[in-house]
Structure formats: structure tokens, C-alpha cells
Amino acid sequence: MRGIKIVCVGRVKEEFFKEGIGHYVKEIRKKYPMDILECPDEPTPDSCPESVERQIRDTEGERILNKIKDDEYVVALCIDGKHYSTQEWGDRMNRIFLQVPSQVTFVIGGSLGLSEKVIRRANEKLSFSALTFPHQMMRLILCEQIARVV
């Protein structure tokens, strides 16, 4: 594996999230190169129709896809993705890290989730919970879980 990348929608605003993410990124970088690439999120009007939500996901999805190369192994974080125990997660990630010759890219969508194009591009879908988390918190959780297995 050449490294780890997280592509995500939105910026981290709260300092405590920035500090936590920074801590785990530092730990991960002791073993692998790592980057976090942010895409701007689209404003989402309150109670907008599904067609507007789909358009927002598609716009954010194009921004995400522009940051992913063809040879990258993509893991999309989706509520309907595969769930793992801590041991299973470690085993799965270690297999990916050993077998994938390219970059491993994790994708975190915006408040409305990921576009169908991004989900189709993904090599696999991952879920840490059936609950929905703010993207800033999910970024922290993902970094912690990657640091746990590297």
C-alpha cells in the first residue's frame, strides 16, 4: 500500500475535533503516509425535496470523485455498509493494507450522505454504526480506528 487518504465533505470547525484528528493522524503517519482532503459542502435548505437533496449529493459527489485516482482502493463510509467487530476490522484493514498496491482511500460524505456515483466507485462500503454521526465526529472516529490497526 502506498498510503492512506481520507476524502471528506466539509471542514472541521471545533478545535477539540481538530486536536483529536491531529493526534491520530500523527500516529498513523509513523507507519504510513496519510492525507485528508476536504471538499466544500453544499448549503442544504431546510425541508428541501428529494430532487434537491439528490442534486446536492451529486454535486458533492463530483467533488469527491475529482480527488480520487483510478487506481485507488476506495472504502465508502455508509450507514448500510459492512459492520465489523474490533478484531474483524483489524484483520480486514491489515489484509487490505498488505494486498492493495495503491492508495487506500476512505470517503466520508456530507450531511445527506454519498451520491450513487461515489458508492458505485467504492470497492467496499463500511459502517461503524447504524447511528448517524456529524461528519466531523466521523472523521475523528475513522482516524482513531485506522490508528488502532496500523
In the predicted model, is pLDDT for residue 9 greater than 90? yes
Q: What is the pTM of this model?
A: 0.95
Lowest mean pLDDT across 51-55, 87-91, 132-136: 132-136
CA atoms within 13 A on the CB side of 38: 10
pLDDT score of 110: 93
Cell, residue 138: 466521523
The pLDDT of residue 46: 86
Q: What average pLDDT does the structure give for the chain? A: 95
Query: Is the confidence at residue 147, as pLDDT, over 90?
Result: yes
pLDDT at 132: 85
Total residue length of the chain: 150
CB 96 within 8 A of CB 45: no
Q: What is the pLDDT of residue 145?
A: 96
When pLDDT is averaged across residues 110-136 and rounded to a whole number, the result is 94
Amino acid letter, residue 98: L
CATH number for the domain running over 4-43+60-149: 3.40.1280.10
3-state SS class at 104? strand
Confidence of residue 117 (pLDDT cuts 50, 70, 90): very high
The pLDDT of residue 47: 87
Contact 37, 5 (CB under 8 A): yes
**Helix and strand counts by DSSP (H, E) for the chain:** 5, 5
